[in-house]
Amino acid sequence: MNPIKICHVIQATISNHLLINTIKNSDRSRFDYTIVTLDPEGKLHEEAAQINVPVVTLNKPSRRQMLQTIAELVRFFRSRSFDIVQVHGFDASLVALPAALLAGVKKRVFSGHHSHEVPLHNSKRLKIVDSFLARRLATDVIAPSKDMYDIFVQTHRVPTRKLHLIPHGIDLGYWSPEKFNGQSMEQRRHGKIVFGAVGRLYWIKAYDQLLRAFAPVAKRHPDVVIWMVGEGADLDALKSLCGELGLSEQVFFLGASADVREIVSGFDVFIHPALAESFGLVYVETMALKKPQIGAAVGIAPEAIEDGVNGYLVQPGDVEGLSNAMEAMLTRQAEWKTMGEKALRAAERYSVRITQVQCDEFYSSLVEPNRV
């Protein structure tokens, strides 16, 4: 039997370990992959070349080119006779799902990477469009967490018969704590206790709430600091807020890093206050590095974090609860190593070698029963 032909359509061409690892760890004898990008050539092309996956670059990143992009994709999909087209992100969904429908692609898979944010934008138009794409144009919808599954049902009204709960997976070897013991970060720590945050600095990650929650903790514990790893539009506003709250000597913005593993290895505790996540890879990645967690109950967090066992869960937007969780974590410093070991065990459930078996079977179930 010929391999199942799958086309992944994505906008950005930045490094994408998630997509590359899922393809690399799938059964390549059963699946033939192609990646299509809307943005110009980037790091993703290099990563795909290393695993022998072709990448087609449309170089049409603007929505003003939408009709032209759809027409080009229709021709491309027809020329390759794909069994499955899978879309990643809003802009890719906006052009590739109608194109796949017009091209006669029978299985069109919508990935839940972005729809968790839609309810927070208070945009009726955005909600209508995103719901239409998932509910009407896609034949199947992947939710990577129970939280995302519930959002698809309750907010987007996607029929449960279309929904598939398939978690993302990480390469545990890449995140092995044995490779990074934090010793190289000791000079930067200056003997302080480090709460660390990793992510894009924009409002949905709720770092302003993290700073407000930390302010009373910082006054009581001058030996505690926060390292914030990442960059984004809110950087200047967050720095200004630090000044207002008197945190300039206890909060450090480390910027973006090509490899955050070494920095995270220097954390004592990982903290993530986000208002929404479809999955929250950063939870699993930091758990793989044996870091106790303080996390908002979004994405995978309610499934991966056992409150009081490997970390603490707080409700998104609960500044007081976040502050209380930090205080509670500080009373348990002697248990952090044990909590980190338990965090690693939780992360092991999301090894890509496990999750990709489930994903491969999903692809096969879409196509093989219909083949003669």
pLDDT band at 164 (very low <50, low <70, confident <90, very high): very high
Q: Residue 108: helix, strand or coil by DSSP?
A: strand
Q: What is the DSSP letter of 260?
A: T
pLDDT in tens, 144-163: 999 999 999 999 999 999 99
pLDDT in tens, 13-69: 999 999 999 999 999 999 999 999 999 999 999 999 999 999 999 999 999 999 999
pTM score of the predicted model? 0.93
pLDDT in tens, 90-101: 999 999 999 999
Among 257, 212, 209, 206, smallest CA distance to 230 is for: 257
Q: Mean pLDDT over all residues of the chain?
A: 94
Q: What is the mean pLDDT of residues 190-211?
A: 96
Which residues neighbour 301 within 8 Å (Cβ) at sequence distance 6 or greater? 147, 272, 277, 280, 283, 293, 295, 313
What does the angle CA 153 – CA 154 – CA 158 come to, to the nearest 5 degrees? 30
User: Which domains does the chain show, CATH number per domain?
Assistant: 4-169+351-370 (3.40.50.2000), 177-350 (3.40.50.2000)
- Per-residue pLDDT at 179: 76
**pLDDT at residue 328 greater than cutoff 50:** yes
Other beta carbons within 10 Å of 328: 12
Q: Are 61 and 39 in contact (CB under 8 A)?
A: yes
Whole-angstrom distance, CA of residue 266 vs CA of residue 183: 7
